[in-house]
Structure 1
Amino acid sequence: MNTQEDSFSSAFATTTSSFDDHHHHQARRRTCANGCDRPVNVCLCHTLPPNPLPTSTKVVILHHPHERRHKLATVPLLSKCLRNCEIIVGRKLKYGDSKLLDSLYDRACGNPNLPRWRALYLFPGLNALPLAEINQKKSSFDDDDMNDHVLVAFDGTWRHAKEMVHASLPFLSKFSLQACLDFDAGVGGPTIFDSDLILRREPFGGCMSTMEAVARCLRVLESNGIEIESRIIEVLRTMVSFQACFLKPMKPRHKLKKAKG
């Protein structure tokens, strides 16, 4: 009988298996430090533009602190796609957070009658003007600066985003207008554009991730907007396809009937 030898072989096999599993787990967790900064098994470097895309529109994103830890956050990728993209981590925008926004604030305070078409903060609502309409109106002004838009977006859950907008209004309302893409608060569901780009359940039709929303806006604001939108959406679509492999099918939730009496 080779009991001792068999036990050693079994122990060695178990140790080797554990080592291989640990090594595989470590490999999965390794990130692309100089590229997309994502785990190597869901790397998106091959879809990112070789160089960040130049735009006349300057994008400023208020990134909620909780979103920095979220696996589905799209803002880090967006900043790698766009050259003129500034990310501010916080819960509200205020003077001192951004030299660009500070300059707009100072200019507006110095000239209260200055048109505010240049700076737009993106958030759906009954008082928000459609982006396409704003883009048409600003063309009636001769000011060259009006061609270089500043687009402010809020990245967080919808509850957080609403709080962030409200907290930022004392600052933003001095120099910017509220803008939106098409949306319908009476229709439940995901983005009205592409159902295959869903990362999380949205509160009503027309809502979308920050990355998709910025891409759709640049389509309207930039002269080569269709090309820019296409490049950004390609990255987002690849990210969503990776994520779909890890999502479990969601079963419909049954409504509970209230007990009588």
Structure 2
Amino acid sequence: MDAQEDSASPSSTTSSFDDNHQTRRRICASGCDRPVNVCLCHTLPRYPLPTSTKIVILHHPHERRHKLATVPLLSKCLRNCEIVVGRKLKYGDSKLLDSLYDQACGNPNWPRWRFLYLFPGLEALPLAEIKKRKSSLDDDDMNGHVLVAFDGTWKHAKEMVLASLPFLSKFSLQVCLNFDPAVDGGTIYDSDLILRKEPFDGCMSTMEAVARSLRVLDPNGIEIESRIIDVLRAMVGFQSCFLKPTKPRMKLKKAKG
């Protein structure tokens, strides 16, 4: 057999590489809008999950280009999820928030505890307190929360919250999940899910934070949280395949004088 027939030609090898590259870059347009080699359609709910809580997320423009952004997936998991792209929330960005602003102005009895924005801080009320408030009310008053979340780096998120306060403070209350600023942050999970280093213990991705909040606020919160976390786990599972193992850096001994 001729040697040329026994091996692939350079042109065929290049063609095969290009085909594989194009396959990886092809976007799944039928559901998750991710590259087909990391498609998550099989993990997404068949239909977006209904919630009594309405979610509004301020999505920083830089996050739209981030490969690990979780907000696009979250909006495919939840029916009542509105995404606002920008650096601050103001009147005119959201019809829902505009209506709350209008209703709250001049109403001393406005039920601020039902309209919340999620961000950790010493002034934030733990969501567990909201749950206690819900348990003391009639069923009709337990539903209908609005939750605002901020999606960006922690530096950006702080800036987004401060810039949005003149608008949000008129009708909503700051709340948080459990957090401890005195403890260094790990990952979005303490075990198997690794995306980004968080600044302190209790911090998490936007997708996880919304899932944990819905567990508290929504009547079907436990099931909703589980479905969202399953999608997030699958996403991080794909990402972990591309992580390169890091080698510990060698410590250099100081030269003796």
Q: How far is 1:118 from its partner?
A: 1.1
- Whether 1:69 and 2:65 are equivalent positions in the alignment is yes
Q: How far is 1:250 from its partner?
A: 3.8
Aligned pair partner of 2:121 in 117, 122, 125: 125
Moved over 4 A (4+): 9-12, 138-146, 191-194, 251-256
Number of equivalenced pairs: 252
Alignment of 1:34-113 (within 5 A): 34-113=30-109
The 3 A distance-change label for structure 1 pair 166 and 127 is: same
- Whether 1:115 and 2:111 are equivalent positions in the alignment is yes
CA distance in 2, matches of 1:165, 1:26: 40
The 3 A distance-change label for structure 1 pair 192 and 44 is: closer
Retained in 1: the 8 A contact 2:187–2:195? Answer: no
Q: Which residue of 2 aligns with 1:259?
A: none
Q: How far is 1:136 from its partner?
A: 1.9
Retained in 2: the 8 A contact 1:119–1:176? Answer: yes
User: How much identity, in percent, do the aligned residues show?
Assistant: 78
Give CA deviations for 1:214-244 in whole Å, capped at 9, x if unaligned: 0000000111111000000000000001000
Q: Which residue of 1 aligns with 2:180?
A: 184
- Whether 1:28 and 2:24 are equivalent positions in the alignment is yes
Retained in 2: the 8 A contact 1:218–1:225? Answer: yes
Give CA deviations for 1:69-97 in whole Å, capped at 9, x if unaligned: 00000000000000000000000000000
Q: Which runs of 5+ in 2 are unaligned?
A: 253-257
Retained in 2: the 8 A contact 1:189–1:203? Answer: yes
Q: How far is 1:107 from its partner?
A: 0.6
Q: Which runs of 5+ in 1 are unaligned?
A: 257-261
Aligned pair partner of 1:223 in 219, 223, 242: 219
Aligned pair partner of 2:170 in 174, 187, 190: 174
Aligned pair partner of 2:231 in 235, 241, 244: 235
TM-score (norm 1): 0.89
TM-score (norm 2): 0.91
